Structure formats: C-alpha cells, structure tokens
Structure 1
Amino acid sequence: MAEPCTPPLPRVALVTGAGRRLGRAIALTLAEAGWHVAVHYRASANEARETVAAARARGVEAEAFAADLADEAACRALVPAVVAHFGGLQAVVNSASRFEFDDGLTAGHDSLQQHWAPNTAAPVLLAQGLYAHWTARVAAAPDDATREALRARACVVNLLDQKLWNLNPDFFSYTLSKAALRTATEMLALALAPWVRVVGVAPGLTLTSATLQGEAFERLHRQAPLGRSSTPEDVADAVRFALDNRSLTGTHLLVDGGQHLWRFERDFSCLT
C-alpha cells in the first residue's frame, strides 16, 4: 500500500517590523531561502512596500500588512489576515520592538506600559494565533502520518537582546519587556508543544541608531570576544536556522560575538 501523501507545508513567515532595519533583513533572508513573507508594519508603509518588492524579486510571494501591535484587536486580527491571504502560516518572527530611553530612576507606568504591549504582549498573542491556526491544520489532517509530519513544523522566533545576560540600568522599561519575553519564550514552548516551537534569538550590537553611529558604533561593535558583534545577516541566518531545526524549542540563541560575556556598565548608546 502506498504511503499517505503529506500535503505541502505552507512555508509562509510573518515578520513583524519588516519594513525597516533588522526585520527587513530577516524577511529578505527568509525570502532568499524560499519562504513566502508577510511583511508587517505599523507606520512605515513605503518601506514595507520596498521590502515586499525586494522579496518578490527573489521569486516568492510577499504582501504587506499594517497593524498597531499595541492594539490588542489589531494584533489578534493579524494572523487570520495573513492566513486568509496566503492560505496558511508556518512561522511568526517577532522582530518589531519599542526602544525608548528611561532608567531605574525615571521609569513609570506610562513608559512600562508603552513597552509592554508591543514588546511582550503582542508576541504572546501572535504565538497564540499561530498555534490556533496550526492545530486546526493538524485536526484536519486525514491520517496519523500526516499529523506526525506537522509536529514541531511551526515555529515562533522572538527577538531578544544580549543585554538580558549582561544587565545594566539603561532602557529600563525596554529591558523589562524583553526579560518578560525571554520568560514567555520558555513558557510558550511548553504550552504550544508538540505542534509549535518557540525560540529566542538575542543579537548584540547590530545596527547604528540616532544616538550611536560612525566611529563610536564601529568601536563598540568590535568590543566582543570575537572582535565583532552581530550583523543583520548573522541574526537573520540564526532566525532561519531556528525555523528549520525541529529540535529547537524553549531555548535562546545568542548571536553577539560573545558580547554578553563581557561586562558593560551602561547601554552601548550611553558609552559614547
């Protein structure tokens, strides 16, 4: 008797914050690897369209989706919108992040809540959405062999930060929101098993910013045991690896040239 035919997997990835910076690099690396890409954005519509065009130029399907991740209803509607467009979803990469300065002496309810919603709550809701979609696909599978083929195929990747392993008091609300996401990654890995995996990827100093660029950026980027921290390509490759490796869940990949092993008393942007 012929073995049951397993339906093709919907190699579609939703990448949040994919119009710009690290999210864009991740989206294009996945497109290069054959993933269809849902490009999420909040306000960067033009940049999102550019990412979509660049992904399509790599021979895959891509589409842009607008959503304010601080809005629960908009966040919950995102996965169903992606599934309706592509016909399926296999991965969510939570790259979008709020990153505004405060410290242990200035953090308050407003700054904590402004970081909490997009940085912690939204990734949890999107993971729930992927799980609901994937388990519905499992339930509709025609036989046990097909269901087994779907085990651990879906994956959530949460972008973290090496500073969680090397704490300093700067960007206090941001750091707390990412620390909560680190813990949520491990809790969700248990809650969503065995059908959906959850992995954290923690970059080091990767991109310039309004407060850190030029020679100061290059100098700090070199301050790592390997003599260089992460590039966008390094981080994107780690995300792709996490999506493809069915044995990874509830763990964190530090992609930082070892920066987390060296003590930094301040955030990089405050060391100039």
Structure 2
Amino acid sequence: MKLLRYGETGTEKPGLLDQDGRIRDLSGEVADITGATLDEATLARLRALDPADLPLVEGNPRLGPCVGNIGKFLCIGLNYSDHAAETGSEIPEYPILFLKANSAICGPNDTVSLPRESRHADWEVELGVVIGKAGKYLSEAEALDHVAGYCIVNDVSERRFQSKLNGQWTKGKSCDTFGPVGPWLVTRDEIADPQKLGLTSDVNGRRMQDGNTGNMIFSVARIISHLSELMTLHPGDLIATGTPSGVGMAQKPSRVFLRAGDEMVMRIEGLGEQRQSVAQDG
C-alpha cells in the first residue's frame, strides 16, 4: 500500500495511490497520514479497502511529505562503506546520529531553496524508515515489526555550514526545504527486505549516486535497535539511514555543489521518485 498526502502546504489531505498510479482520496477514512494513523489496526483497515470505491483525485496536485506531523527526524551519518571511503572517514563503531530540524521537511517535488550564504549545498539520497509502533530496548529481531513503512529522503546538506560554522552537523542539515520526504509511504508488507533496494540520484541529468542498501554498514534493524537503546521511538518518527557514495563534495577532480536552476532526481527501488528544482534565497 502506498500512502501519500496531497494539496497545498499546511492543508494536505490523506491519499492512496491505486494500481494505475492514480490518487484516491482517503479523507473519508482517516483525518491524515500521521503517527496516529500508522498503527497496525488502521493500516489493516485501509489495506482492506477497494481503491475503486474511494474518490478519484483529478489533475496533478502537489504532493506533500508522505507523513504529517513527523515526530523525531533522526539521521544516520557515514552508513555506507563507500561513502565513508570517499570522504576519508573511518568506519564508525556505532551508528553516527544527528538530528535534522523538522522545519526542513518539505514535499518530494517542492523547490529546494538554498540560504543566502550557501555555496556548498550537496545532495544525499537516503532510505527513510517511518516508525509505526512505539518501542524501547528493541532487539534486532523485533525491530522491523515496529516499522510502518519506507520512503525516500533527500538529506540536502550545506557542507560549509556543516563543518565550518563551529557546531555539529545539524547546522548544515536543517535549513528550510533541506528535507524532501516522499512521494509516498510504502507500507512494510510491500518491502520484503529493506537491505536489497537500489537507490540513485541524478543532478541535471547526470547519474551521481548509484548504490544499494545492502551496502549499509548498519542495517535498518541494527539502527532501530541501537536508537531504541537511547530513546523511545514513537509512531511518526522518521529515520534517514545514510547515503551511498557520489555526493558532490567528494567529486574529483573538482567538488560539485548545487546552484540555482539545478534539478535533483532521487529514486529508490519500489519507493518511487522525487524531483526538486533548486533556487537561492535573495
């Protein structure tokens, strides 16, 4: 099942993507797609619906973040061995955790707007994991049972802000629009193995990243288990699980960074595609 949210920013409605790729309105079934509606009982009820009985949404509406009112936006750094190598970083002993401000969250096809002083903005395609059931001190064996579904995240990053502004990574990760999420939340039952997904990013039509989640240093289950040892994970929390090699700051012979007018396209096998144009604040 592919769940989504559509409409103008702040007034999105819940929807479902049918087998023909058309949006069906879920407003008569749930108020929104949030942590409050990602429990097993609600998902089972929605899964039992015949999409043909739901109102068809006409036209091509804007897609919002596929989950509303996201709780914690948790991000894992340096989680692919090839990405660690390209940045000259050591393989971490434990998952590296940073948080991205929720105000960075935007729709999958919304414009990414660079801050006024940004000259080193970068792209990162990542597998997003949305928690559906609260948990603490979870074993790896039970971790995936707490997942509602998966989505694409573009962890847009301003590298100078990240490393040179006398702070932690959060400064370079949390600018407005630096967290496109979606296009839809694919429920857990449709993804047989989250460690067997191809993921790519293209910038201006050029393939920059081409990886597979099987190359993660820490699996999704390991990440969830580790985080749950530190804090309770709640329904609606979003975990971005790291990016493969091919980011702009590691390009050779010269680093490549985003500029106004660029276009990014992020794809993950089974999870769809998101596409952003780049602008710069005046």
Relative to the length of structure 2, the TM-score reads 0.32
Q: Which has the higher strand share?
A: 2
Q: Which has the higher helix share?
A: 1
Relative to the length of structure 1, the TM-score reads 0.33
